[in-house]
Structure 1
Amino acid sequence: MIRNRGIEVLKVIDIKEALALKNVLFIDVRSQSEYDDGTIPGSVNIPILDDAERVIIGTIYRKKSPDEATLEGLNFASNKLPNLYKKIKEYSKKYDNIVIFCWRGGMRSTSVCTLLSMLKISNIYRLTGGYKNYRKYVIDFLKNKIDRYKFVMLHGLTGVGKTHILEKLQCIGKPVLNLEKIAKNSGSVFGNIVFSGKPPTQKMFESLIFNVLYKAEEDYIFVESESKRIGSVQIPEAVYNRMINGYHILLKTTLENRIKIILEDYVVHLEENDFKIMKSINHLRKRLGNEAVDKLIKKIDTKDYTYVVKYLMEYYYDPLYKYSIKKYNNYDIVIDYDDINDVLPIINSFLNNIRITRRELE
C-alpha cells in the first residue's frame, strides 16, 4: 500500500501484471448478468449491485443526475458490505493476491477496494480498466499474438478416440486445447447429454481459449479437428487459421473399437436420457428417412444402444466425416491402431522429430 501524506492510496494493477501474479484470485464485483456474459476465467462473482439495482441507477443517472445515481448506488451497496467484507477477508487468508474488477475499473471496484483498505485487508489490487481492458487484451492476443504456437490437430471418424487421446496427452503434461469441453458441445447426436451446465457465451469461450494459450509453456498445442462453429460459439478466426495451418494427424481403428469407445463414453448417460436421444434422432428424418429413424427409436426403447451407435456411424457420421477428412490431402502422419494405448508413443516420436526438424531449419 502506497501512502501519500498519511493517506492510504489504493494499489492498482494492469491486466498483464495481474495475469502474472502467483496464488491470485480475481473477484468480479459486477452484477450476475454481466458476470454470466463473460468474465476472467476462475474469478468469483460478489456483486456490489444486482441487475435490478443497476437498471434503477442507470435510469436515475440519465433522467436526474450522476450525483443522485451515486447516492442511490451507495444506498443499495451498504446492505451488502458486511457480507462482502466477510467473504473477501476469508479469501485474503487463502490467496497471496486478490484483484478486484468491475466493468471499467470505476466506482464499483474503487469503492470496494477503498473499503477493504480501510479495514486493513492489504493484499488487494484494483484492476485498471476493469473487464473492458481485459476483454481488449484477450481480443488482441487471439488476433495478433498466437504466431508462436504450432497446432497439432487430431483427425478421425466418430469414435476413433480423439478426445480420449487429448485427455491422455494432457495427463502427461502436454499442452491441450479441448475445444469441445470448453464449448460444452461434442457435436454429436449424444453431445447434449454429456456436459452439464450452460454452454459459454462467445466472450467466455474466447476467454477460456485465451487462458489455455496464454498459460502454455510449449510452442505447440494439441487440438481436435473441429469446424469453425461448435454449438453456439465460433473459434476465433486467427486461432482457426493456425489450426488449419498446423500439423495434422489422422487416427484410424476398427469399427468395433469405435463402437466400444462411444458406448464407454455414453453408457452412463444413455438410459437416463433416452428421451433426449430420441428427440435428437428425430431431427435426422430428412437425412436417414422415416423408416430408419422409427427403427432406431424402437432400438432405444429396448436399450439396444449398440445397434443405434453402429447404424449412426455407418449411415450418418462416417459419410460426413469422410468428406472433412479428405479436405487434408497430405497428413503428416497416419496412425492405424488396435490398442489406443499405442497411440501416445507414436505421437511423442512424431513430436520429437518435428522439434528436431524445426531446430535444424533455424
Structure 2
Amino acid sequence: MLKVIDIEKALTRKNVLFIDVRSPSEFEDGTILGSINMPILDDEERAIVGTIYRKENPHEATLKGLSLVSTKLPNIYSTIKKYSMEYDEIVIFCWRGGMRSKSICNLLNMLNIDNVYQLKGGYKSYRKYVIDFLEDKVEQYKFIMIHGLTGVGKTHILDQLELIGEPVLNLEKLAKNSGSVFGDIVFTGKPPTQKMFESLIFHVLYSSKEKYIFVESESKRIGSVQVPESIYRRMVNGYHILIKTTFENRIEVILKDYANYLGINDSKIIASLNHLRKRLGNKAVNDLIDKVEQKDYTYVIKYLMEHYYDPLYNYSIQKYKNYDLVVDYEKIEEVIPILSDFGKSIS
C-alpha cells in the first residue's frame, strides 16, 4: 500500500532522506534542502515526452515515458534499497505528488522496501510551506542586525558567534556573495537560485533553538538574489548594533579576508574595478588597476575604503541613529561575549 506523508511531518523526521525524482533542471531551480536528485526522466527525455503529449495524446506520451524509464529501474531500485538500510525513512517527491513519485513508490513497495513514502503535494507543497513560513512565522524571531564600516569584521563576528552556538543567519554565505562590487571573489561554486536562497533562509530559522538571531546589515539584493521582503522588514525593525575599530584593524581584516584570493583572482578584481569608473573616475580606476598588477593590494584597499566604501557605508550607518549597542574594539575577540550577552538579554 502506498504510504504518503505531508511536508510538515516529513520535516520533523530525524533520519530521513528526501529523493527528488524530477529532471536535473527542475532540481537545480529549487529543491528540498539536503535532497538528492534521482531523475526519472532527464531534461531531454522530459522534453520528448512533453512534445508527444502535446502533439499526439497522453496515452502515447505515457508509453514513451515508460520505455525511457524502464532501463533505469534496476539502478533506481538498487540505489534506493541501499539508502533504505541507512535511513529510517525515505521521502520521494516530484513536482506536485503526481505520476513520477507515485510510480516509483509503488514499484519499491512491490519490491518490499517498506520505509518509502510519497510526499503529499510534492515539491509544490514544500515551496508553499517555505513561503508561508517566511510570511507568517518570521514575526516570532528577534533580529539583531550588526552594522559597521567595511573591514570591521562583521562576517568574522558572525562566524565566531556561530562557533559558540549562537543563532546566526549569514545571508552572504547563503547567497555566495558578499553584497559588494567585489562580492563573488571569495566564494566558489554557483550561487543559489532565488527559490533555493529562500529555502536556505527557511531552514536556518526553522532549525533555530532561539527566537533571536544575529544577521549582518545588508541591502535587499545580495548578488543575484533578494532578501525576502518579510525577512528584510523584520531585520529593519529589529535590534541594531554598531561595530567600530581602527582604520589599521580594518585594513588587516580585509587583507586577511582576501589573502587566499589575491593574485589568482586579479582578473576578477580588475573587472570589478572597471564597474567603478562612473563612481571613481577613469584616472583613479586606471591607477588602481596598475596597483593590482603591481600586487600593491594594501594601496588598493586603503583607497577604496576612503573613497568608495566609507562614504557608501556611512550613509547606511546614519540611517539608524539610535543604536541599541555600540562596540568599539581593539581586538575582535572582545566583541563576541558582548554580543552573546546582548542576545540572551532580549530572549
TM-score by length of 1: 0.94
| Unaligned residue ranges in structure 1 (runs of 5+) | 1-8, 356-362
CA distance in 1, matches of 2:305, 2:10: 47
Tell me if structure 2 keeps the 8 A contact 1:25–1:97.
Answer: yes
Residue 14 (structure 1) aligns with? 6
1:37 Cα deviation from its structure 2 partner = 0.6
Deviation per residue, 1:245-301 (Å, 9 max, x gap): 111000001111111111111111111011110111011111111111111111111
The one-letter code sitting in structure 2 at the alignment partner of 1:127 is: L
Q: Is the aligned partner of 1:116 residue 2:81?
A: no
Residue 263 (structure 2) aligns with? 271
Q: Is the aligned partner of 1:171 residue 2:171?
A: no
Secondary structure of the residue aligned to 2:303 is helix
Secondary structure of the residue aligned to 2:265 is helix
Q: Is the aligned partner of 1:60 residue 2:52?
A: yes
Residue 218 (structure 1) aligns with? 210
The one-letter code sitting in structure 1 at the alignment partner of 2:168 is: V
Secondary structure of the residue aligned to 2:126 is helix
Tell me if structure 2 keeps the 8 A contact 1:189–1:277.
Answer: no
CA distance in 1, matches of 2:83, 2:250: 46
Of 65, 74, 98 in structure 1, the residue corresponding to residue 90 of structure 2 is 98
CA distance in 2, matches of 1:150, 1:242: 8
1:190 Cα deviation from its structure 2 partner = 3.0
The one-letter code sitting in structure 2 at the alignment partner of 1:136 is: K
Of 309, 323, 329 in structure 2, the residue corresponding to residue 337 of structure 1 is 329
> Bigger shift: 51-60 or 176-185?
51-60
Residue 39 (structure 1) aligns with? 31
Q: Is the aligned partner of 1:200 residue 2:204?
A: no
CA distance in 2, matches of 1:353, 1:208: 27
1:352 Cα deviation from its structure 2 partner = 3.1
Residue 314 (structure 2) aligns with? 322
TM-score by length of 2: 0.98
Deviation per residue, 1:59-78 (Å, 9 max, x gap): 22222222221111111111
Residue 289 (structure 2) aligns with? 297
Tell me if structure 2 keeps the 8 A contact 1:166–1:222.
Answer: yes
Tell me if structure 2 keeps the 8 A contact 1:60–1:68.
Answer: yes
Tell me if structure 2 keeps the 8 A contact 1:98–1:125.
Answer: yes
Secondary structure of the residue aligned to 1:39 is coil
Report the number of matched residues: 347
> Bigger shift: 184-193 or 275-284?
184-193
1:90 Cα deviation from its structure 2 partner = 2.0
1:48 Cα deviation from its structure 2 partner = 0.5
Of 72, 75, 78 in structure 2, the residue corresponding to residue 83 of structure 1 is 75
Deviation per residue, 1:14-48 (Å, 9 max, x gap): 00000001111111000000001100111100100
Secondary structure of the residue aligned to 1:324 is helix
Residue 173 (structure 2) aligns with? 181
CA distance in 1, matches of 2:296, 2:181: 16
Q: Structure 1 runs of 4+ off > 4 angstroms?
A: none
- Pairwise CA RMSD of aligned residues? 1.1
The one-letter code sitting in structure 2 at the alignment partner of 1:41 is: L
CA distance in 2, matches of 1:207, 1:40: 7
Residue 308 (structure 1) aligns with? 300
CA distance in 2, matches of 1:190, 1:246: 28
CA distance in 2, matches of 1:283, 1:19: 43
CA distance in 2, matches of 1:261, 1:345: 20
1:218 Cα deviation from its structure 2 partner = 0.8
The one-letter code sitting in structure 1 at the alignment partner of 2:166 is: K
Residue 66 (structure 2) aligns with? 74
| Unaligned residue ranges in structure 2 (runs of 5+) | none
1:242 Cα deviation from its structure 2 partner = 0.6
CA distance in 2, matches of 1:352, 1:142: 24
CA distance in 1, matches of 2:184, 2:74: 41
Deviation per residue, 1:58-111 (Å, 9 max, x gap): 122222222221111111111111221222122222211111000011110011
CA distance in 2, matches of 1:260, 1:274: 19
1:196 Cα deviation from its structure 2 partner = 1.2
Residue 4 (structure 1) aligns with? none
The one-letter code sitting in structure 1 at the alignment partner of 2:158 is: L
CA distance in 1, matches of 2:82, 2:306: 56
CA distance in 1, matches of 2:134, 2:262: 37
